[in-house]
Structure 1
Amino acid sequence: MGVLDSNVAELWDIRRAVEFCQSNLSLRCRNISVVSDSKVAVFWVNNSDFGNIAQTNSIMDIRNIINSIGGMEVIFDHRIFISFADCLAKMVASTSGDLIEWEEF
């Protein structure tokens, strides 16, 4: 993906999620939680301290979209709760198209 920092990658994912909600009229004015397993990215989005000056524009865009939609929040949830998605992401990153069976841990 060309990203050196996993927190920046997670910030981009948060941005894609809120942009999707913004573009989908049926999702507006609903209570939507965008869940991330990156405490750092969630902190950047939810607090007055940007934390990452290089990502200020993305952070501001995310904040503006959240404010314009209403009823949306970005929250942190530990990996244990989203381990299946995490496992899928790791499988895709570690393979070159080979099929791998996922085993529950």
Structure 2
Amino acid sequence: MAIHKAADIIAINPIFEGRKIIIASDSKVVVSWVNSYSFGSTNHVKLIYNIRKNLSKLGNMEVIYNARVTNSFADMIAKRGSNMEGDLFVCGDL
């Protein structure tokens, strides 16, 4: 759900146009579903299809695996965002 939400926000927001976007997830399974021909769980086919559609439409966005233990900042932001109403944006240049 988080990857789907991020891809939707990025796809409609002009601030991300022309930028290289990397969405990192701590779920190897979900990253493999998004980046392969398999849809994994039949319960998630529509979500995976929509994520892939946004990835191909923009061409500058990719989804990668990043273990939770190696990215404590992202884990903290995710926990914080799940406790808030509305959207939470964190932008920065690497």
**Same fold, TM exceeding 0.5?**
yes
Q: Distance in 2 between matches of 1:26 and 1:84?
A: 22
Percent identical residues: 36
Instruction: Please give the root-mean-square deviation of Cα atoms over the aligned residues, in Å.
Output: 1.9
Tell me the residue number matched to 1:70: 59
Deviation sequence 1:4-46 (CA, Å, 0-9, x none): xxxxxxxx00001111101111202321100001001101100
Mapping of residues 1-105 of structure 1, within 5 Å = 12-87=1-76, 89=79
Q: Distance in 1 between matches of 2:16 and 2:52?
A: 17
Instruction: Please say which structure displays the higher CA radius of gyration.
Output: 1
Q: Distance in 1 between matches of 2:19 and 2:76?
A: 29
Point out where structure 1 has 5 or more consecutive residues left out of the alignment.
1-11, 94-105
Normalised by the length of structure 1, the TM-score is 0.69
Normalised by the length of structure 2, the TM-score is 0.76
